[in-house]
Structure 1
Amino acid sequence: GINFSVTEDLKFFDGYKFIKIFLTETTGKLLFKGDLDRLFSYRKPIAIHSDIAGMKKCVKLSMKYGTKLHICHVSKKEEIKFLKKYKTHNITVEVTPHHLLLPEGAENVKPDLGTEEDRKALWKELGRTVDVIGSDHAPHTIEEKKKGAYGIPGIETFLPLCLDLAFRKKISFETLALLISENPSRIVSEKKGFGTGKDADFTVVEDKEWIVDSRKFYSKSKFSPFDGMRLRGRIKTVILRGEIIYDGEKVKKIESREM
């Protein structure tokens, strides 16, 4: 993400998937105060965290310059209604499990959790206006949350929550695969497809019920709004570049790499 002034140097930045800008409040001093028009004129892929007013500005600029635009964490009916009109353009949309599942006021997150009507609007457009379900993982400690930090940990509940929805037939497995695998790969142009000659990155899941217990999370965040929730479907094995790194009980240490 950037929160500094837009400079000519951004024209020559390469190797990243998106420049992320925050047009509304979030944890930390990340609010973007630069020149939006100038930034979009560089035609570098942009991801935004925004309310409806910022979305309208960015969609207009995306269309003006042909800049690829990804809209993160859409949470309101009015946002979906607006974005639906522009899906034929170079614009993609993401929602989170907590904006799909949690009631208004249940957690301190940004964007705010919506009403039941908002959630219904998001559900209706999954696989249509909405291209991606993303975790919006915010690994705050309990102490940080007590001080008002926005967001919740999402990595370790993300796939199980999505699997639960599919096993309980609230969404098809085909649509789920599109939203959490195929579309994200297409949007970031990273490791497209699954087959001969491709990186062997995949996850094996099992149809098994279990109860969320944040005390067992690997993340430093030992809390979850989904604590105590019974879910159907969990991760059994994770294979990264052809090597097993998780087998249900242990995680093999792996080296991170620059993206």
Structure 2
Amino acid sequence: MANPENAVRYTICTGRNVLLPGNTTPVPATITVDASTGKITDIAQGFRQRETPAPGTDGILWIDAGDKIVLPGLVDAHVHLNEPGRTDWEGFWTGTRAAASGGITTVVDMPLNSIPPTTTVEHLHAKRKAAQGQCHVDVAFWGGVIPGNQTHLKPLLDAGIKGFKCFLIESGVDEFPCVSEQDVELAMNELQNTSTVLLFHAELDVSHEPTGSSGPDPTLYSTFLHSRPETLEMDAIALITRMQRKYPALRCHIVHLSAASALPVIRAARSAGLNLTVETCFHYLCLSANDIPTGHPEFKCCPPIRESTNRDALWAALIEGVIDCVVSDHSPCVKELKKLDEGDIMAAWGGISTLGLGLSLLWTEAEQRGVTLSQVIDWTTRKTAEHSGLADLKGQLKVGFDGDFIIWDPDAKFMVTEESLNFKNKLSPYVGMTLRGRVEKTFLRGTLVYDADDRQRFEGVAPIGRLL
């Protein structure tokens, strides 16, 4: 039996490059985390040499980051973990373990594609029961708006839901149908005097036939791209902002913005004082339709990845602040649904698997664009924590916050292989890419939950994540 006198009482992380709130560059600092609470109790300026007591005898776990960069743990506010019901697609154990490998210490789970979806308190209880004891990082939950469930929204808020997502186009699963304008109004009316947020999959469900000279070949990415034109997003956002004028106190949020042509509508809404926030995803910022080969459904997601000029415009809007944050929209499925053997993009499930790669993806692209690490971290930590109602707990290295931090090597390079992926179904468009920047270690409330150099320990680590 372990000697309680030797138990860890404090985790102390010291380094010459610690990214603290308000700083644009890392500075020497030392962070102390109380093991009993998991909270940061002190942040001192300067690198601190280890004291003389032998390891394990002073109740202190020392982390010497040296010249590596210490960053706050990421908050991924858009993840589909799919358990219960579609655990063969992804589950809490594999999904949160993959998150930890990418420096993510908190995920916010979407109300679909689990069965049942998180649209009632009873369904939330089923999801929390399934998650119990399986989470390697902390997990919060979004609820869902579907036709007829508006009376369940406030009870879901009381039960701890962070906000609500709806679809303006078919979601792809029968148990989570899209909403009409009338359904949206009923939900807005129900939520208008709360402090929550209403999230929109912003493609409007109207008929758009594929156009262009590419023909109907389902293996061509252009066929799929023409079937989901930018006008679907523009029309949806125009509808959302028009309805938001009737309920101006309610924050609305556009998930996974793909179409840069919708940015003027967003700018106009904000200029008019509407409380509208926007996210985009790693794949829209790091991939281009111009480079997607024929017959590769692993690149399919909804809305689609668009051309390089569109990608450049999204980056400009992110830097400007028109887009608030960046998330993964990790949306996996089993191999059969991706139609890899047929190369049928039109028939394949639309979703991209990213957990574990996001920070490296974004940093690889950001460096080429002159974007700083502090900007990247702000988009993936503080801003995502604010969006998901966790701003007083997560997303910053700050006294009183959870002691979630990562050790980051910005110069390390690695190739993405199937074997290196930690989510359940190892299908990703990033396989074969060489990325820059590697998460060396991830700490959740001061406890090590991922070590890149100790795979065996990582695979055997006990889950300590909490349900927020």
TM score, norm. by length of structure 2:
0.52
**Structure 1: which amino acid aligns with 2:416?**
V
Quote the residue 2:304 is aligned against: 112
Quote the residue 1:254 is aligned against: 463
**Structure 2: which amino acid aligns with 1:31?**
P
Quote the residue 2:274 is aligned against: 89
Mapped partners of 2:169, 2:462: distance in 1: 36
Q: Please state whether the residue corresponding to 2:289 is helix, strand or coil.
A: coil
C-alpha deviation, 1:49, in angstroms: 0.8
**Deviation digits for residues 54-103 of structure 1, max 9, x if unmatched?**
22222222332121111111111221221122234311111111112222
Give the gaps of 5 or more residues in structure 2.
Answer: 1-143, 204-233, 293-298, 340-346
Q: Report which of the two has the higher share of strand.
A: 2
Mapped partners of 1:54, 1:166: distance in 2: 29
* Larger of the two Rg values belongs to structure: 2
Quote the residue 1:32 is aligned against: 178
Q: Please state whether the residue corresponding to 1:123 is helix, strand or coil.
A: helix
Counterpart selection for 1:59 from 241, 244, 255: 241
Counterpart selection for 1:21 from 159, 166, 185: 166
**Structure 1: which amino acid aligns with 2:278?**
V
Mapped partners of 2:326, 2:152: distance in 1: 32
Higher RCO structure (Cα 8 Å, ≥6 apart): 2
Contact 1:71 1:92 in 2 (8 A): yes
TM score, norm. by length of structure 1:
0.91
Give the gaps of 5 or more residues in structure 1.
Answer: none
Contact 2:301 2:352 in 1 (8 A): yes
**Deviation digits for residues 79-138 of structure 1, max 9, x if unmatched?**
122112223431111111111222227321100111223212101111411111110101
**Deviation digits for residues 181-226 of structure 1, max 9, x if unmatched?**
1111112221254222211012211120110112321111212111
Cα distance change, pair 131–109 in 1 and its aligned pair in 2 (3 A) = same
Mapped partners of 1:230, 1:202: distance in 2: 25
Quote the residue 2:147 is aligned against: 4
C-alpha deviation, 1:169, in angstroms: 4.8
Once the two structures are superposed, the pairs formed by residues 78-157 of structure 1 within 5 Å of their partners are: 78-87=261-270, 88-104=273-289, 106=292, 107-127=299-319, 128-146=321-339, 148-157=348-357
Q: Identity across aligned pairs (percent)?
A: 25
Mapped partners of 1:49, 1:31: distance in 2: 12
Runs of 4+ in 1 over 3 A off after TM superposition: 166-170
Mapped partners of 2:441, 2:434: distance in 1: 20
Mapped partners of 1:98, 1:154: distance in 2: 8
